[in-house]
Copies of this chain bind each other. A is one copy, B any other.
Amino acid sequence: MSETAPRPTLEAVAARAGVSRATVSRVVNGAHGVRDALAERVRHAVDELGYVPNQAARSLVTRRHDAIAVVAAEPETRVFADPYFAQQLRGISKELTAHDNQLVLLLTEGREDHARVGRYLAGGHVDGALVFSLHLDDPLPGLVRRAGVPTVFGGRPDWDDGQGGVVYVDSDNRGGAREAVRYLAALGRTRVAHITGPLDQTSAADRLAGFRDAAGEHAPGPVARGDFTPAGGERAMRELLDRCPEVDAVFAANDLTAAGALRVLRESGRRVPDDVAVVGFDDMLPVAEQTDPPLTTVRQDIEGMGRLMARLLLRDLDHAADDGDVGGVGDVEAGSAPDGSRSVVLPTTLVRRASA
């Protein structure tokens, strides 16, 4: 264990800055009414001395830990390998840091560890939680609910009851899928197929619904099951070519799926986009730029979703009271969820490259 040097005191900071103890205390606890120049002097002395406020005492006054947990219902290995999660985490980290809140990432090895995460959340170590839970039968949301901390979810939970009890941030998966299919129809394609994601995730189910909305009107084609991976995209594309050789367009549920589909189309001698046009979803970089040909796709603002999750939570905790409203990520207002709750659904944008 490292030896413990004596901790500098509030008094030492006050002496160094040439101000009263009360002034130091107010600056350290983020209270208002201290002149900027004075506050700057105090912060300088805090830095010089390496002063660490007594958090326990501070929490008693502010009832805040200035710490937000991030929990993903995935084992540590997958969390670190997932570029989608990494991008959302980047947005969360920037937003929490901008409000001097500590990002506390709670990692697990698997589902059997979620009870422990629930205990940590209930233990008074964080002010709130940002939760990513993708799968229908996941016990994590229930554990978080019982822990009793304010929570914002990433992605619409499947069990959302529409009563406004759950706050989430999501992309307009259904609208984005509709736009992709209408774009393909406008190019003159008449047999637009869809490769789905895993349908126990709301994002995949919503994209399928959007496909059905638009394909039914414009360019009905077959549907094959995928799983958001390139290998799943390959399997589904082979199945589609078998079942419907005249297919002239594919809307893939995400970019990785599209990458797999493109490989199979090339192998089968189809030219993209001349014979078969392909549109993905996500605009996940560098994947979408490095496919052959580069991928036309439905862009969602993944980092922006992370920022917005953090912002919604902080607002409810009154951390961000000075910032006024929650706008500024895209041009979306809070409260745009179809169920009228305080959830936010961000718009998507079609990004045109070479594949469609």
Contact = CB atoms under 8 A, between A and B. Distances in A.
Complex A-B, nearest 3 residue pairs according to Cβ-Cβ distance, in ascending order? A55-B123, A105-B105, A3-B165
Contacts of A56: 123-124
A102 interface: yes
16 contacts: A1-B167, A2-B166, A3-B165, A5-B146, A46-B115, A52-B115, A52-B118, A54-B122, A56-B123, A59-B123, A66-B116, A76-B103, A80-B89, A97-B113, A103-B106, A103-B108
A73 to B, nearest CB: 15
Interface in A65-111: 65-67, 76-77, 80, 86, 89-90, 93-94, 97, 100, 102-109
A123 B102 CA distance: 12
B115 A47 contact: yes
Nearest to A8: B146
A54 B119 CA distance: 8
A7 interface: yes
Contact of A1 (B53, B77, B89, B151): B151
A104 B120 contact: yes
A181 interface: no
A308 to B, nearest CB: 15
Copies of this chain, count: 2
A352 to B, nearest CB: 29
Nearest to A118: B52
A144 interface: yes
A147 interface: yes
Contacts of A123: 55-56, 59, 65
A119 B53 contact: yes
A125 interface: yes
Contact of A148 (B7, B46, B93, B108): B7
Contact of A97 (B97, B100, B108): B108
Contacts of A117: 102
Contacts of A124: 55-56
A123 B77 CA distance: 29
Given A80-B86, A106-B104, A1 B150 contact: yes
A295 B56 CA distance: 52
Contacts of A146: 4-5, 7-8, 50, 52
A1 B317 CA distance: 10
A83 to B, nearest CB: 9
A145 interface: yes
A272 interface: no
A143 interface: yes
Contacts of A47: 115
Contacts of A50: 115, 118, 139, 142-143, 146
Given A100-B116, A102-B116, A102-B117, A122 B52 contact: yes
A109 B93 contact: yes
A301 to B, nearest CB: 17
B2 A165 contact: yes
Contacts of A46: 115
A316 interface: yes
A93 B1 CA distance: 20
B76 A145 contact: no
Contact of A107 (B105, B120, B153): B105
